[in-house]
A and B are shown apart, each in its own frame.
Chain A
Amino acid sequence: MRQLFLVIASIFSVLSVVFAFLPLGTLALIPVGVALIFGFLAHKKSDTKQAKWVKVVLFISILSFFFVVGKEFLTKDEVEVDQQFDAKKVESKKEAQKELEGLE
């Protein structure tokens, strides 16, 4: 059972790191949560000698947690200035002006 918990925790801790770097916002907390739960379960079932890898997994998961939460609070959602899109809007307006003149 300890092995199973450890495998699941390890897989999800890797996913935590991947999700943390993707722009998935708080969604990245899902693998973090799973990794932490199974990490703690594995830790409970481990004796002192077996706990090393479990601690690594837990450390990665906790680090991912703080990274995700920090990113969520410190990164502002903003739309990049898009010159191509701005040009498209201007062009569209010019075309519309011609169309509307033609309709009259």
Chain B
Amino acid sequence: MKKFLLIFCFALSSNGGFSQIKSGEKLVFAASYNMSGLMTQLAQVTMETETMKTSKNTFLHLSCQAATYSKWDSFFKIRDLYESYVNPTTLKPSLYKRNIFEGGFTKTEKYIFKSDGRTVASTSKRKNNPETNRTFTVGNSTQDIVTLIYKLRTVDFQNFKKDQIKSLALVFDEKEIPVVVKFMGKETLSVGNLGTKECYKIAIGAKTQVLKGKDKNIIWLTADTKKIPALIKFSIPVGTGQLTLSNASGI
């Protein structure tokens, strides 16, 4: 499931623009995996936003949850929770948390983004391993996976030309991963409860073992101001799959 999410986020890009993401938004996706040529639905991925207030600041809480459908739970149960707390205007992250349960394997991760914008203090714990703490530096525009998913939607693809590329960086598993986003044009798709919409087609490439093939990892974003992720197709070393938007609310 981490791969689903990683691919999901690879679509993303930051232009340093301002947030168009509203609090109270909920997007529900059906995650499918290609098994011997047949797409089989495995899990539900839910992305939600909500406001979180502290004594001095207001944050936007971005969360992404993945849960296998009940019929799969006894075979390979997944309950993943990815969260990011960001500035509601700039979407700059302050805190990122990851809590995964995948078929008995567990891992928790926490990144605190220091105010200098380059230093990340991480805490990580894998099943049966002791907790580790690290501090490492990343690029100024490097962000966590959840924030990047939302940041993509602030990019003005309207002005992109076909095959135009944008280079990005992502921090995942305590590593900085270079990401390349390529605008491939527009296509019309069925977008869950939103009907049929014209979408931006964007290919994602990353210097990681997780993604496979050239222009085989693609995300479609609605070509309007909301830029709702409508469909994500991915190719990983063990197969292919997709995330299809089934319901969008609060947008």
Q: A23-B71, A24-B40, A82-B67 are in contact. Are A88 and B99 (CB under 8 A)?
A: yes
Q: Residues 83-94 of chain A: 1 if any B CB is under 8 Å from the residue's CB, otherwise 0?
A: 001001100110
Does B129 count as interface, using CB distance less than 8 angstroms?
Answer: no
**With the chains together, A96 CA to B63 CA distance in Å?**
12
Stretch of B50-58, B131-139, B212-220, B225-233 contacting A (4+ beta carbons < 8 Å):
B50-58
Residues of A within 8 Å of B97, CB to CB, are 92, 95-96
Q: Is the CB of B52 within 8 A of A25?
A: no
Q: A26-B38, A89-B81, A92-B83 are in contact. Are A79 and B57 (CB under 8 A)?
A: no
Does A6 count as interface, using CB distance less than 8 angstroms?
Answer: no
Does A27 count as interface, using CB distance less than 8 angstroms?
Answer: yes
Q: Is the CB of A100 within 8 A of B85?
A: yes
Q: A80-B70, A93-B61 are in contact. Are A25 and B40 (CB under 8 A)?
A: yes
Residues of B within 8 Å of A96, CB to CB, are 52, 61, 83, 85, 95, 97
Does A50 count as interface, using CB distance less than 8 angstroms?
Answer: no
Residues of B within 8 Å of A92, CB to CB, are 81, 83, 97, 99
Q: Is the CB of B54 within 8 A of A75?
A: no
- Which residue of A25, A88, A100 is within 8 Å of B57 (Cβ)? A100
Stretch of B4-12, B72-80, B176-184 contacting A (4+ beta carbons < 8 Å):
B72-80
Does A11 count as interface, using CB distance less than 8 angstroms?
Answer: no
Q: Is the CB of B55 within 8 A of A104?
A: yes
The residue of chain A having its C-beta at the shortest distance from the C-beta of B96 within the complex is A96
**With the chains together, A79 CA to B52 CA distance in Å?**
26
Number of interface residues of B (CB under 8 A): 35
Q: Is the CB of A101 within 8 A of B75?
A: no
**With the chains together, A75 CA to B72 CA distance in Å?**
13
Number of interface residues of A (CB under 8 A): 27
Does A77 count as interface, using CB distance less than 8 angstroms?
Answer: yes
- Which residue of A78, A88, A95, A104 is within 8 Å of B54 (Cβ)? A104
Residues of A within 8 Å of B35, CB to CB, are 24-25, 27
Residues of A within 8 Å of B81, CB to CB, are 85, 88-89, 92
**With the chains together, A77 CA to B75 CA distance in Å?**
15
Does B69 count as interface, using CB distance less than 8 angstroms?
Answer: yes
Q: Is the CB of A85 within 8 A of B36?
A: no
Minimum CB–CB distance from A98 to chain B (whole Å) comes to 9
Minimum CB–CB distance from A74 to chain B (whole Å) comes to 12
Residues of A within 8 Å of B70, CB to CB, are 78-80
Given A23-B69, A77-B71, A89-B65: 20 more A-B contacts, CB < 8 Å: A23-B72, A23-B75, A25-B41, A26-B38, A30-B38, A77-B41, A79-B43, A79-B67, A79-B68, A79-B70, A85-B79, A88-B99, A92-B81, A92-B99, A96-B61, A96-B85, A97-B52, A100-B54, A100-B94, A103-B94
27 pairs, A vs B, C-beta closer than 8 Å: A22-B75, A23-B71, A25-B40, A26-B38, A26-B40, A27-B36, A27-B38, A30-B36, A78-B70, A79-B43, A79-B67, A79-B69, A85-B67, A85-B81, A88-B99, A92-B99, A95-B97, A96-B52, A96-B61, A96-B85, A96-B97, A97-B54, A100-B94, A103-B95, A104-B54, A104-B55, A104-B57
